[in-house]
Structure 1
């Protein structure tokens, strides 16, 4: 997305109270397609492999005790609960990503496109999505629509070239699906690709994770 989404790190942080006692009862087995959770524990960044993100975007980390020992953020570790500041990003292994924070899911010659969880967290509450018409030609890196939030308006760029075959009209009445379900109900368009070789220029989840970490570190 052609916008600096990182204007305020503090504004993008989610404050959550995690209870150390019995935290494991809230954990679920992490689905295979979920990759990592990047979270801010105190003032130290920790990458956690075994977390699960529920629909409320609360990070429940398998090794939360180890994280607290290595990166204590509370004055006393003996308290039943401790306050943690979390910047949460959800990444999906089988998707491709752009450096402007769009994702693409490929099924045959069809590409489903949306904006990433990382992007929607930084944008804040989405209030409007500008959508193209079916049949619109799109080019890789070119804007096809826009997302307007309470913080800013940002172009959405196409990860691939081709023709728009489907548009998610649910976003007309429920733009907040971009926030609550960025990789599923919040998809934006589907494109019939004209050059599948363009997919080779996109990032996998590992590269995109590192890209986000490096970009956040600059701001």
Structure 2
């Protein structure tokens, strides 16, 4: 099987951002009880591939048991995004194992980012971190990841058997599965038993033999 197109998750695969995003959720919800904040942190960690919009709604509807308007969701999401733009432009947060592979191979494959992160924020971070030039396109929430992949597969007429998604969460696996493309886990040992394989390191990796 010859791989021609790779869909990359962002957080946990390209950028080591979990602790920063934990902090961001704690900040935007700091006026609530500690136990409630820790509940949303756990949900966030388990569902890394989901967008902040989903997580904010979950916090209100499931943890607080309250309704929340779209305007309020956007207010929280925008506040969260401003915090992320300040903290995640530091290059020391980049996962060098992945970055080295991307820098060497971006001419050899069609690289796309499909992320649960806010799309505007994501494109800002990629620009600030000098990553934009490596990707054909960069996409994020609020569009769900499986829809992003579906649209790109159709728009670029990619072959399912020649396309893979690399991610660090079960949500990434589900997005690949729904689009009938291969999934390879990375940076999350819980994914070793799902998908088509697990990438321990990109060093010396030849994707044509996956």
- Report the TM-score, using the length of structure 1 for normalisation: 0.29
**Larger helix proportion of the pair:** 2
Higher relative contact order (CA 8 A, sep 6+): 2
Which is higher, the Rg of structure 1 or of structure 2?
A: 1
